[in-house]
């Protein structure tokens, strides 16, 4: 690895498509999400750059670590979450079908890295010493066991269909054969993936770990100031990362195309497709009530798993 490659790697992880790009897009998308939520709820809602203002305000606040907290875990958890998400962005195709970092079986690494934020939130909650945070972290573990199996099983179905664990290969398969969304055998699995993503992003009806009327803010109860700003950014980047993964899995990934005489670059295609996925989750979270944790687990392990298994059987049996 020469000097230029190292420089390229640093640029990729810190600026594009890593930390800076993902954060800016993430904050913007969640800002739009809040605006759309406002309109769906018959109110005006905040301006779409509200998340940036919130971020700036939180960064200037006092940095508090509670006396009861285990300091290294409590401080390290948000950084670990954001770091792992910046790493995920390197593995996801953003500006073209090629991700910045190529691995043979990158789907496994992506699934693994997408779990780190959840686990660090659980650790942060347990280490903070607040009963609300501990209750929230306990709920998050249960929810993790619910959605993660559905998520992995559905992605495995897509991998079986295409016959590869490489995201770039899945995208090139879709370039040749059309979007996987249009394949009726995979449709149940794709619905299951979207349901799992709703739980992964802690959006209603699965915002159970941070149910504010029951356990304040769940694992994040004791977080404030810059640490909360990092958590918020991590959450926003997670939204983008999950949406990007879904785009690559069944919406054909970022592809350039010509519209009339105008050449539209792949990055615009990526932004449009991820935006659509984020808006879908926004609409869903505004038209349902929050379910209980036992109901959520039951829902995932019956309905979610059933959908994924049906799809898996269809893919394996139907030629």
Which residue ranges make up the site for another protein (CB under 8 A)? 40-43, 131-132, 134-135, 138, 204-205, 207-208, 211-216, 286-295
Q: Token digits for 197?
A: 């993503």
> Which residue from 208, 221, 216, 229 is spatially nearest to 293, judged by alpha carbons?
208
Kindly report the backbone phi and psi dihedral angles of residue 258, in degrees, each rounded to the nearest multiple of 5, phi listed first. -105, 135
Minimal distance in Å, beta carbon 51 to another protein? 18
Is the bond into 211 cis (omega within 30 degrees of 0)? no
Longest dimension (CA), the chain: 63
Element (H, E) at 263: strand 262-264
Minimal distance in Å, beta carbon 215 to another protein? 7
Question: How far from chain centre, in Å, is Cα 144?
Answer: 13
Minimal distance in Å, beta carbon 249 to another protein? 27
Nearer to another protein, 54 or 210 (CB): 210
Minimal distance in Å, beta carbon 10 to another protein? 42
Query: How many residues can be counted in the chain?
Result: 319
Q: Report the C-alpha gap between 115 and 128 in whole angstroms.
A: 20
Nearer to another protein, 44 or 67 (CB): 44
Minimal distance in Å, beta carbon 40 to another protein? 6
Minimal distance in Å, beta carbon 300 to another protein? 14
Nearer to another protein, 83 or 138 (CB): 138
Nearer to another protein, 139 or 161 (CB): 139
Nearer to another protein, 95 or 291 (CB): 291
Minimal distance in Å, beta carbon 217 to another protein? 9
| CB distance 221 to 135 below 8 Å | no
Nearer to another protein, 211 or 308 (CB): 211
Nearer to another protein, 40 or 310 (CB): 40
| CB distance 126 to 134 below 8 Å | yes
Q: Report the C-alpha gap between 117 and 246 in whole angstroms.
A: 18
Q: Which residues contact 210 (CB under 8 A, 6 or more apart)?
A: 136, 202, 217, 218, 219, 220
Nearer to another protein, 74 or 132 (CB): 132
Minimal distance in Å, beta carbon 141 to another protein? 12
Minimal distance in Å, beta carbon 214 to another protein? 6
Nearer to another protein, 134 or 144 (CB): 134
| CB distance 77 to 120 below 8 Å | yes
Element (H, E) at 230: helix 225-250
> Which residue from 309, 95, 293 is spatially nearest to 206, judged by alpha carbons?
293
CA–CA distances in Å: residue 271 to residues 165, 203, 252: 24, 21, 13
Helix boundaries (H) for 201-292: 212-215, 225-250, 266-286
């Amino acid at each position: 690895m020469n000097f230029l490659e190292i420089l390229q790697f640093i640029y990729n992880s810190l600026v594009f498509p890593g930390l800076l790009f993902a954060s800016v897009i993430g904050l913007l998308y969640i800002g739009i999400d809040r605006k759309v939520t406002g309109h769906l709820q018959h109110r005006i809602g905040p301006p779409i750059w509200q998340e940036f203002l919130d971020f700036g305000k939180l960064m200037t606040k006092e940095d508090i670590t509670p006396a009861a907290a285990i300091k290294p875990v409590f401080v390290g958890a948000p950084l670990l979450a954001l770091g792992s998400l910046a790493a995920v962005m390197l593995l996801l195709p953003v500006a073209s079908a090629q991700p910045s970092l190529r691995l043979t079986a990158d789907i496994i690494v992506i699934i693994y890295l997408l779990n780190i934020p959840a686990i660090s939130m659980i650790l942060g909650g347990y280490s903070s010493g607040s009963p609300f945070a501990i209750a929230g972290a306990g709920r998050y573990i249960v929810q993790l066991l619910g959605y993660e199996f559905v998520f992995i099983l559905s992605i495995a179905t897509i991998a079986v269909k295409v016959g590869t664990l490489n995201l770039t290969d899945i995208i090139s398969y879709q370039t040749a054969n059309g979007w996987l969304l249009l394949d009726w055998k995979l449709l149940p699995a794709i619905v299951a993936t979207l349901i799992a993503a709703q739980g992964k992003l802690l959006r209603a009806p699965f915002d159970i770990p941070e149910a504010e009327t029951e356990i304040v803010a769940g694992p994040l109860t004791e977080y404030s100031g810059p640490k909360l700003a990092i958590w918020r950014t991590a959450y926003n980047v997670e939204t983008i990362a999950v949406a990007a993964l879904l785009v690559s899995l069944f919406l054909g990934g970022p592809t350039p195309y010509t519209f009339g005489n105008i050449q539209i670059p792949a990055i615009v295609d990526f932004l449009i497709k991820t935006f659509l996925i984020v808006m879908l989750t926004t609409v869903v979270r505004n038209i349902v009530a929050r379910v209980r944790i036992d109901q959520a687990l039951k829902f995932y392990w019956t309905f979610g798993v059933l959908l994924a298994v049906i799809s898996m059987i269809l893919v394996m049996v139907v030629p």
